[in-house]
Chain A
């Protein structure tokens, strides 16, 4: 999902995936050169044994293909790190021998050390991402400007018993402890869900983060941030959630509830939150007169 905050993030830190791809192609390029022209490589690195260089070349090509083809390139990057160590060892061995090309040797060592650093950083980062993502299979984010101060927005949200007023599918939220609460939601087709959640982080007027406790139908972790909008124009309220999409009948009811784009549900909830905070309540048309059996239509249910 593309969000502005995501884009800004990628400007600040190098894009890991792109770096991994670059390293993959670098591996293949270097490997092919090592296999085809071991002599030239030997001259630069100070290593004489062409068979060793060819073997390293095959190792590079394998690592490169692994990085480019694998869904999770992390392990292949770690294989590159291992290769880098072997390369450094070979270069070191050549340098300690009776070799006169010490200048080229030092240059190779520095270059390989640099590449090693990149490999390690990239591999670590990818492994961390893979561990983070493995817990949940879905994510949603949404934000909305609210014409009230972060203090007012935080206070309204932090009173969890307010949540069912703007989260239509929530039946109740009961605060059960200092950091824990019990949630009941009703899904389409009469399916109900219960879960317990705990606050994992709570910074007054800034953000609240929570996660579900073991046993939840939809395990999730989420946060809401309250960021002052520029120029005193209220607060940008930003909600993000990582969750495990349930399976079976509950999963199907859950899909009906959130629709195809889970951001839409968050946005609709945020809009009602905004109505509640700015005007005191959520505006309704359910119960108004109409020249048909129901006061509202399928379109209203879809849009809300």
Chain B
């Protein structure tokens, strides 16, 4: 089959690789009909995620048709149309039984490595480094899906791929980030980053009862989408002082909750970006937490900072004194996608949201390398790419 392989920093190649096989009795093989490039794939592309190896098949947002099931699979049969969540979860462990699927204790065969870096290991993920299991990803023609009874959700109605594909990651990710804000009627929520996760966070914040959402980015097309498709007020951080503008917009109090939908490769206008870029280059910090710092400082007293953006290692100069003295709650985590599949599919069915609004580019799997470049450089107002095998 064809698969998009990471061959080094800024080097993706679509290659001919063997077809996947059933390796555990709970596996299913899915023929992929649509797969997307996630903003977090750009962290792999830019070489910021440790423990990638040349030849790794990437991709963790995919859906398709079940071609084969292992002898232990009970809930799926050949021919089922499924969306596959990006975390791999066993469904039986302490965390799965508490619906914290991205912390599954049994799905990362390389847990030892994650324990060395982070103290404890989270779940294994599709196509996202050896630290997180070394599983082949879904930017391919076929994928092996472990624990197929636990993860994939069957799609039994006439929705198009693009309407349901994002249940695999970005819709639940934006939703979980908004849910973590414990939104009360009248709340104002600020969202850093108007990429797909930020856009879904904005939509979800409104679904959960926010009165106002203020979105922050620098790309006009993303700010336009946040305003026009999602109903947010917007700040372009290249033109305005974000902290001042947020203060002014909230009568000096600050947003009730702040969502960081940016993560480890944050940008900023001015010195702060140069400072973090330099520290990162000298390996004095692994991640640039510019948006996170701003979100903490901006947040109102007693508010919540919800972190959906991906971080990998160590960050520098986090205003912890501000956090502590002002009783701010930090909520974060890889998304417990399995927990959100049914309720969010129901919201799609009820017509509360049509996730396909984020798609700006449709390309062939063969064109994945060009798609990565385009997405990285935000060429042609690229926000979300869907690849068709």
Q: What chain A residues lie within 8 Å of B146 (beta carbons)?
A: 283
Q: What chain B residues lie within 8 Å of A304 (beta carbons)?
A: 109-110, 112
Cα separation A297 to B146 with both chains bound (whole Å) = 19
- A-B interface pairs (CB < 8 A), number: 118
- Among A127-135, A187-195, A208-216, A271-279, the stretch in contact with B: A271-279
Do B110 and A303 touch across chains, with their CB atoms under 8 A apart?
yes
A12: Cβ under 8 A from any B Cβ:
no
B277: Cβ under 8 A from any A Cβ:
no
Do B23 and A284 touch across chains, with their CB atoms under 8 A apart?
yes
Interface string of B7-45 (1 = CB under 8 A from A): 100000101011111011110000000000000000000
A290: Cβ under 8 A from any B Cβ:
yes
Do A297 and B130 touch across chains, with their CB atoms under 8 A apart?
yes
Which of these, A145, A275, A284, A295, contacts B94 with CB under 8 Å? Answer: A145
Say how far A227's CB is from chain B's closest CB, in angstroms.
16
Do A285 and B134 touch across chains, with their CB atoms under 8 A apart?
yes
Interface residues of A in 132-163 (CB under 8 A from B): 145, 147
Interface residues of B in 227-251 (CB under 8 A from A): none
- Measured as residues with beta carbon below 8 angstroms from the partner, the interface class of chain A is 20 to 34
A222: Cβ under 8 A from any B Cβ:
no
Give the interface SS of chain A, mostly helix, strand, loop or mixed: loop
B225: Cβ under 8 A from any A Cβ:
no
A281: Cβ under 8 A from any B Cβ:
yes
- Measured as residues with beta carbon below 8 angstroms from the partner, the interface class of chain B is 35 or more
Do A287 and B90 touch across chains, with their CB atoms under 8 A apart?
no
Do A299 and B136 touch across chains, with their CB atoms under 8 A apart?
no
Give the interface SS of chain B, mostly helix, strand, loop or mixed: loop
Closest chain A residue to B58, Cβ basis: A291
Q: What chain A residues lie within 8 Å of B75 (beta carbons)?
A: none
Q: What chain A residues lie within 8 Å of B26 (beta carbons)?
A: 279-281
Interface residues of B in 100-141 (CB under 8 A from A): 105-107, 109-113, 124, 130, 133-136, 140
- Among B49-57, B192-200, B280-288, B356-364, the stretch in contact with A: B49-57
Residue contacts A-B, CB under 8 angstroms, 5 given? A271-B112, A285-B136, A291-B15, A292-B53, A297-B134
Interface residues of A (CB under 8 A from B): 145, 147, 233-234, 264, 267-268, 271, 274-275, 278-292, 295-297, 299-300, 302-304
Interface residues of B (CB under 8 A from A): 1, 3, 5, 7, 13, 15, 17-21, 23-26, 51, 53-57, 72, 90-94, 97, 105-107, 109-113, 124, 130, 133-136, 140, 144, 146-147
Given contacts A279-B26, A285-B136, 7 further A-B contacts (CB under 8 A): A271-B111, A278-B92, A282-B109, A285-B134, A288-B135, A289-B1, A291-B55
